[in-house]
Structure 1
C-alpha cells in the first residue's frame, strides 16, 4: 500500500474508533470543567461524546491532509458533513446548542474567506492583463540590474516576494519561472550543475513563500490563523481584531528584512559562476517593448487594485479622516468587504462597451483558487468545533500537565521550531488548522499572548524551504531539473534555522513596538 492508501484507511479507523467508543474518562472530566467555566447547564456525557467526535474529526482531517489521501479541498468539507450528521453539541456564549448545517456553512463564508475571494479576483485581473509581467520587466530593465548576476538574482527575488504578497505563491512562481529560464539562457546554465541556476530557482521558490507572509491575503495560513483567532475571541469586546494594516506592520518588515538573508544564504551556499550578463538588459528591453503601451484593461485593473490597497491600509484611520455622517453610513465597510467589493467591481468595468468586454469575465473565475478557499473555510470550521465543544481546551490542559506553564517567549520558540519542520512534510494550511486552536487554548490557560503565538505559528507555517513537498513553488522549481534534492536540503536547512531565529526576533521587536502584541 502506498502512503495515500495507508492514510485513507488510518484516518477512517481513527474516526470510527473515537465516534463509536463510549466517551473516555478524560473527556468526561474535561466536559464537566468546560461546562463549569461557561456557567452552562448541559448533559456532561453528551458534551464529552461531542468532544470525542471532534477529536476523531481532527485526526481524520489531519491524517488525510498529511498523507493527501484525497484532495485537500475535499477533506476540508468534512466538518460540514460530520458536525451536523453526528449532532455534535457545544457551548456558544454559555448556551448549549447543536451544530446545524447552517452553523457550519457560516465558517466557509466567513469574512476571511470573502477577503481571499476578493483578493483572488484582483490577482486574476492582473494576470489576465499581464500586469505581472509588465511590472517584472519594468523593474529588471532599470539601471544595471539586468547585467549584474547577483543584482538580477536579488531583483527576481524581490519582485517575486512583492507579487506573492497579493497573488498566490503558486501563481507567482508559475509567472516568474519563464522569465528565470530566459535569464539562465544568457549564461547557458546547465541544469543540475550551474550554481547560478540553483540559486535562481531556489530564490524564486523561497521568495514566493517569504512574500506570502507580508499581507493577510498573501497565503491561506495567514487568513486561517486570523479567522481562528477571531472565532475564539470574536465575542470579547476587549479583544483587538487584527486588521489588514496590523498584519502588514509585522509582515512587511519581516519580508524586507528576511529576503536579503535568503539572498545572502543562496550566494554563500551556491557561489555564482558568473558575475555579469552580456546583452541581458537589451534582451529584456526587447521583451518589454513587445508588450506595447498599457491598455484600458491594465489601467482599470491597476486602478482598482491600488484603491483596494489604499483602503485596506487606511481603514484604522478612517475615524480621524472622515466626517461622522459618512462614517455612520459606511460603518458596514471593513477590510473584508473592501476586498470583495473591489474584486466584484472588475466584472462591471467595461474595457470595450461595443464588444461588451469587461475587466473580468465569468470565465476568468478560473483564476480563483477555489481549493484554497475551501481549505481556509475548513480550517475555521474545524477550529469552531474544537473551541465550542471544549476539545481545544482539553488539548491545552494536556500540554500544560506535561510541560507546565512556560512563558510566551519560550512557547514561541517551541511553536515556531515545531511548525517550521512539520510544514516541510505537510501542507501549511493543514498544519495551521491543527495547531492554532491548540496554541490559543494554551495561551488562555497559561496567561500567554494568544495574538503573538498565533502570528508566530502562521509565519512559521510558511517557512518550508527544505523539501520539494513543502510548498508548490518548491515542487515547481525542483521539477525544472536545475536543483537537486541534496542541494535543496542543504540550503533549505540553513534557512529554516535562520528563519526560526529571525521570526522570534521580528515578532519581539516589531510586535511590541508597533502594536504591542507581545506580552513578555
Structure 2
C-alpha cells in the first residue's frame, strides 16, 4: 500500500472509530459523576484522533476542550486559561532562540568546529562520537528535528565519499553513524526543560500539583539518565563496528572543506550567541542560589524572573538587536515559522489534563489500578510505567501520550499515597526514548528517509535501546525515590 493511500485510510478509520468508541465509553456504566463520564468520552475521542492524526494534534486538543465547554463541564474562561500558561511562554521564547540559531547558522558552526578537532576524526568510533555528541548537546537547546536535519547532510557527505573509495563494511558504518545522530538527539533532548516539548508538558503537570522544578534541577535529575543511556548507545555501536577502518586524510578533507565554506561569524550569530548565553545563565541562576543555600535569593528569582519570562524576553530581544540597518536578528517571518502546532497542543493538552483531574476521572482510574497494585509493588510499578510509556510512544505522538496519561498517573500515585514527583518525572523522560520505528520520532523518520536504514535492523537496535533506556530510567528513579 502506498503511503498516500495509507494516510487516507488511516484518517477514515479515525473519523469512524473516534465517535463510535467515545459513545461506547459513555454508555458503559461507571461509578463516577456525569462530568467525569463525559470527560472520559471526550478523551477517548481525542486519543483516537491523535493516534490516527485525522487533524493536527493541537486542533484535536482544542476540539476536546471546546466540546467540554459546549457540554457545560467547564466555562469557556476557565477552559482556555492554559493557553496563557507560563510554560507556553517558555515554549515560545525557547523556539525563537532555536529559530535564530538555525537561521544564522550558529548550530552548523558549532558542529563543524567540534568535528574538525583531531580527536574526533582519528577513528570510526570517534567520528561517530563526534556526530552524536554534537547531536546530544544541540538537541538540549534546539529541536531534535532541526538538529538531525542539520547533521544529516554532513554525515551523508562522509558516507558517499567512503562509498566512492569502495571502503569495506561502509553499509554498517553508515547505518550506525546515522542512527547515532537520531538517537542522541532524542536522548539529549530529554536533558533540559526546553530540550523537547514533553519535558515542558510534564513540568506543567507537576507545577499544577505543587512541584515547581527549576531549570538546573531538571538537568541535575535528568543528566545521569541521559548520559548513561548515551554511553550505552556508544558501547553498543563500538562493538558492532569494531572491524571497520577508514583513511584519516579522507575524512579530514571532507570536514575541513565544509568548515572552509563557513563565512566569518556574522552579526546575527553574535547576537544569537549573546542572547542564548544570557538566557541560559538566567535559567540556571535560581538553581545555583538554591544549591548555595540562599533561599531568599532563590525565592526572589523564581518569583520575579521565572524561566518563562527569561525565555520570552530573550525572544523579544532577538527582534530588537539589529544585524544591519534594515534587519533585526529575527523578523516577523521567523515568528510565523514557529512550531505553533506544538504550542497550541500544550495549551489544549494541559486544559484536558486539568479536566481529567478536576472531575475526579484521574482519581477513579487511579483507584481501579491501585486496587490491583499494592504499595509494596512500587518497584514493579515504576518498571511497568516506564516500559509502557516507551513502547506506547513507538506508535503514537509522545506529546499526546504524555497529555493523556500524566493526569491518570498522578491520580494513581495519589491513591497509592506515593510521592508523585519522581515517578512522573521518569515517565516524562521515557517519552523521549522510543527508538524502534521511523514513525516513533521525527529524528528516526529523518534518517530513515536517507534510504540507508533497513527498518528490521532499526527495530532490532531500537528494541535494545528501548530496553536499556527503560532499565536505566527505572533504576535511577527508584534510587531518587529512596
TM-score in terms of structure 1 length: 0.85
Shift of 1:256: 2.3
Residue 29 (structure 2) aligns with: 24
Q: Show the counterpart of 1:39.
A: none
> Matches of residues 117-196 of structure 1 in structure 2 within 5 Å?
117-188=92-163, 194-196=171-173
Q: Which residue pairs with 2:58 in the alignment?
A: 73
1:227 aligns with one of 201, 204, 212: 204
1:334 aligns with 2:306: yes
**Bigger shift: 249-258 or 458-467?**
249-258
Secondary structure in 2 matching 1:53: helix
Which residue of structure 2 lines up, in the alignment, with residue 257 of structure 1?
228
Structure 2 matches for 1:284-363, cutoff 5 A? 284-318=255-289, 331-352=303-324, 354-355=325-326, 357-363=327-333
Structure 1 residues 303 and 12 mapped into 2: Cα distance closer, same or farther (>3 Å)? same
1:232-289: per-residue Cα shift (whole Å, max 9, x none)?
x24xxxxx41111111112223222221211222233455633444332233223222
Which residue does the alignment assign to 2:3? none
Asked if the contact 1:187/1:277 (under 8 Å) is kept, the reply is: no
Matched, 1:108 2:108: no
Mapped pair 1:372 → 2:372: no
Output one character per residue of 1:393-432: Cα deviation in whole Å (capped at 9) or x when no partner. Answer: 0110111123333444332111001111111111111111
Cα distance in 2 between the residues matched to 1:467 and 1:329: 42
Aligned residue number for residue 49 of structure 1? 34
Give 2:44's aligned residue. 59
Distance 1:297 1:161 in 2: 24
Whole-Å separation in 1 of the counterparts to 2:247 and 2:390: 35
| Separation (CA, whole Å) in 1 of partners of 2:294 and 2:332 | 35
Partner of 2:14: 7
Deviation at 1:507, TM superposition (A): 2.7
Q: Is the 8 A contact 1:196 1:274 kept in 2?
A: no
Distance 1:389 1:292, change over 3 A: same
Distance 1:470 1:25, change over 3 A: closer
When the two chains are superposed, the root-mean-square deviation of aligned CA atoms in Å is 2.5
1:382-397 equivalence runs, <5 A: 382-397=352-367
Distance 1:265 1:372 in 2: 33
Task: Give CA deviations for 1:40-94 in whole Å, capped at 9, x if unaligned.
Answer: xxxxxxxx11101110111111111112222222212123311211110xxxxxx
Tell me the secondary structure at the aligned position of residue 187 of structure 1.
helix
* 1:448 aligned counterpart, secondary structure: coil
Question: Aligned partners of 1:274, 1:482: CA distance in 2, in Å?
Answer: 19
CA separation of 1:78 and 1:158: change in aligned 2, threshold 3 A:
same
Unaligned runs of 5+ in 2: 1-7
Task: Verify the 8 A CA contact 1:436 1:454 in the aligned structure 2.
Answer: yes
Question: Does 1:245 pair with 2:227?
Answer: no
What are the ranges of 5 or more consecutive residues in structure 1 without an aligned counterpart?
Answer: 28-47, 89-98, 235-239, 513-517
Cα distance in 2 for residues equivalent to 1:328 and 1:158: 35
8 Å CA contact retained: 1:210, 1:255: yes
Aligned equivalents of 2:116 and 2:400: distance in 1?
40
Larger mean Cα displacement after TM superposition, 164-173 or 245-254: 245-254
Does the C-alpha gap of structure 1 residues 272 and 462 become closer, same or farther in structure 2, counting only changes over 3 Å?
farther
CA distance in 2 between counterparts of 1:418 and 1:390 reads 23
User: What SS does the aligned partner of 1:294 have?
Assistant: coil
Aligned equivalents of 1:178, 1:367: Cα separation in 2: 22
Q: Distance in 1 between matches of 2:227 and 2:300?
A: 37
| 2: CA distance, partners of 1:323 / 1:64 | 46
Change (3 A) 1:203 1:317: closer
CA distance in 2, matches of 1:290, 1:275: 24
d(CA) in 2 for partners of 1:276, 1:265: 23
Going from structure 1 to structure 2, the CA distance change for 1:150 and 1:324 (only over 3 Å counts) comes to closer
Q: What is the CA–CA distance in structure 2 between the aligned matches of 1:383 and 1:327, rounded to whole Å? A: 28
The structure with more helix, counted as a fraction of residues = 2
1:479-518 equivalences in 2 (<5 Å):
479-509=449-479, 512=480, 518=481
Give, in whole Å, the separation in 1 of the partners of 2:215 and 2:295: 22
Deviation at 1:506, TM superposition (A): 2.8
Quote the Cα distance in structure 1 between the aligned partners of 2:449 and 2:125: 23
Distance 2:393 2:297 in 1: 48
CA distance 1:7–1:162, shift in 2 (3 Å): same
Q: CA shift at 1:326, angstroms?
A: 12
State whether structure 2 residue 182 is matched by structure 1 residue 205: yes
State the distance in 1 between where 2:376 and 2:147 align.
39
- Report if the CA contact (8 A) 1:258-1:502 is conserved: yes
Distance 1:329 1:120 in 2: 23
TM-score by length of 2: 0.92
1:477 maps to 2:426: no
- The equivalent position to 1:425 in structure 2, one of 395, 409, 420, is 395
**Could you say what secondary structure the match of 1:358 adopts?**
coil
- Residue-pair matches, total: 472
